[in-house]
Structure 1
Amino acid sequence: MARTVVIEVHGGPEVLKLVERPVADPGPGEIRIAQKSCGLNYIDVYQRMGLYKLTLPSALGMEAAGVVEAVGEGVTHLKEGDRAAYAASPPGAYTEARVMPAGQVCPLPDGISFEEGAAMMLKGLTVDYLFSRTTPISKGDWVLFHAAAGGVGLIACQWAKSEGIELIATAGSDAKCQMALDHGAAHAINYRTEDFAKRVREITNGRGVDVVMDSVGKDTFEGSLNSLRPLGMMISFGNASGPVPPVDILTLAARGSLKITRPTLFTHIGDHATCQEMAGRLFTKVNSGAVKIEIGQRFALDQIAEAHRALEARRTTGSTVLTL
Structure 2
Amino acid sequence: MSSGRHRVAVLVRDGVLPMELGLVHQLFGGARGPAGERLYEVRTCAVTGPGMIRTDADFPIGAPHGPEELARADTVIVPASHEEDESLTPSALPTQLARALENAAGAARLASICTGAFVLAAAGLLDGRRATTHWLSTDLFARRFPSVTVDPDVLYVDEGRILTSAGEAAGVDLCLHLIRGDHGAAVAADVARRTVVPPHREGGQAQYIQRPVTPAQSTSTGAARAWAQARLHEPLTLRQLADQASMSVRTFSRRFREETGLTPMQWLTQRRLDRARELLESTDHTVDRVATEAGFGTAASLRAHFVAGVGVAPATYRATFRGSGPPRE
Q: Same fold (TM over 0.5)?
A: no
Q: Which has the larger radius of gyration?
A: 2
Higher helix share: 2
Which one has a larger percent strand, Structure 1 or Structure 2?
A: 1
Q: Which has the higher contact order (CA 8 A, sep 6+)?
A: 1
